[in-house]
Amino acid sequence: MVSIKVGDTIPTTTFQYVPYTSELEDVTKCGIPISLSTDEWKGKKVVLFAVPGAFTPTCHVNHLPPYLEKYDEFKAKGVDVIAVVAANDPFVMNGWARFSGMKDKILPLTDRYAEWSQSLGLSLDLTARGLGVRTERYALIIDDLVVKYVGAESAPGVTVSSADAVLAKL
User: Measured between alpha carbons, how far is 169 from 68 in angstroms, rounded to an integer?
Assistant: 18
Decide if 59 is catalytic.
Answer: yes
The residue annotated as part of the active site, out of 47, 54, 59, 141, is 59
Where in the sequence numbering do the catalytic residues fall? 59
